[in-house]
Amino acid sequence: MRIDPPPRISPPAAPAGAAGAAGPALEVEGRASLRTFNTFGLPAFAQTLVHVRNVADVRRVVDHPSYGRSAKFILGGGSNVVLTRDVNAVVLKIEIMGRRVVEERPDAWVVEAGAGENWHDFVAWTLDQGCPGLENLALIPGTVGAAPVQNIGAYGVELKDRFESLDAVDLVTGRVVTLDAAACRFGYRDSLFKRHLAGKSVITQVRLRLPRPWVPVLGYLELERKRAETGMTHPDARTIFDWVCSIRRAKLPDPAAIGNAGSFFKNPVVSAEQCRDIIGRDPEIVHYPLPDGTVKLAAGWLIDACGWKGKTVGRAGVYEKQALVLVNRGGAHGSEVVTLARAIQESVYGRFGIRLEPEPVIV
């Protein structure tokens, strides 16, 4: 596959977002509403919100006489956060743009994007450039910079499977570091950025490695179903992209229409013995044995089995088509979402003895 015309480079020119120290001053807002900056649509204010458009802006924050020493809260697309109160930490709204094909190697295409780019638009753009490999991750809400933080995954592909490296700026020293996959310590919906580096480091650029030749990932049941329905035994990347979009649209709410943060809980992993015990009582339980002998259980199934699907508590609810997704029924406060989440955790624990762990960060 060739890349012709040459890859488009959106401004700023390569490397994306790496503007010099000179330039316009920081753009700062006081008492800024975060309602439209979180996909749940929860009401909260930032005392101070800084629009971060490039590396130089991050350095200006680090060197700032007051923001430099303050706690920081890094906000991407707001698709993995539950805001229960106003944020006193300095909110860094990451708006670093730009995307480019960095390298076309015999074994892979390497693509790069600024952390503020919309993830789904980036996936679509890579396909337009003739670089397949991210199609299974279509329509995941959020930004490119947030993708490694929680190691996003769907339909048999995780970000870590396509990861090359990222650049991040240390919020104490202002130093730029480049981290590879091992350094990011990716886990299931987890990375160093959710732990040790939370609030301490800003991801500015992400590079992904898309293996050549392209091999489709079709093992996931719903994709197999699409293959059987359409009779397309060898779908191309664009077709898989379209299938993933239609599967997601059929069962996940569009955050633009119904506030939500995707899966609210992680799928719990239990020992084989614990799983056998549960199967003894609930033979229908949806479970996936993992290579290390443990078993992943479908949290959506557990919640559904406890009768939560479609239920509403206050102004928060459980989505009708997928019990793993909590939604804002309109005007909900973050505390209502948390109250509902706790009630679900208690009932799943009561029936199955399993503690569900939330996926989004609760502030």
Bridge-based pairing state of the strands 287-289 and 295-297 = antiparallel
Q: How far is the CB of 37 from ligand EPU (least distance, A)?
A: 18
How many residues bind ligand EPU, per CB under 6 A?
16
| Distance from C-alpha of 41 to C-alpha of 256, rounded to nearest angstrom | 9
Selected catalytic residue, list 53, 60, 100, 189: 189
Q: Is residue 119 part of the contact set for ligand EPU (CB under 6 A)? A: no
| Distance from C-alpha of 159 to C-alpha of 181, rounded to nearest angstrom | 10
Q: What tokens were used for 213? A: 């030749």
**Binding residue (CB under 6 A) for ligand EPU from 122, 125, 155, 193:** 155
Q: How far is the CB of 124 from ligand EPU (least distance, A)?
A: 17
Dmax (CA) for the chain in angstroms is 66
CA-based nearest residue to 247, from 220, 269, 265, 274 = 220
Residue 305 near residue 317 (C-beta atoms within 8 A): no
Selected catalytic residue, list 112, 164, 263, 336: 263
Q: Is residue 300 part of the contact set for ligand EPU (CB under 6 A)? A: yes
Strand, helix or coil for residue 262: strand
Q: Residue 29: beta bridge partners?
A: 49
CA-based nearest residue to 265, from 318, 320, 196, 187 = 318
Q: How far is the CB of 262 from ligand EPU (least distance, A)?
A: 2
14-22, 92-100, 160-168, 318-326 -> range binding ligand EPU (CB under 6 A) = 318-326
**Binding residue (CB under 6 A) for ligand EPU from 76, 98, 262, 334:** 262
**Comparison of 109 and 319: residue with beta carbon closer to ligand EPU:** 319
**Comparison of 7 and 141: residue with beta carbon closer to ligand EPU:** 141
**Comparison of 37 and 319: residue with beta carbon closer to ligand EPU:** 319
| Distance from C-alpha of 307 to C-alpha of 302, rounded to nearest angstrom | 9
| Binding site residues, ligand EPU, CB under 6 A | 154-155, 262-263, 266-267, 286, 298, 300-301, 304, 309, 322-324, 359
What is the set of active-site residues? 189, 263, 359
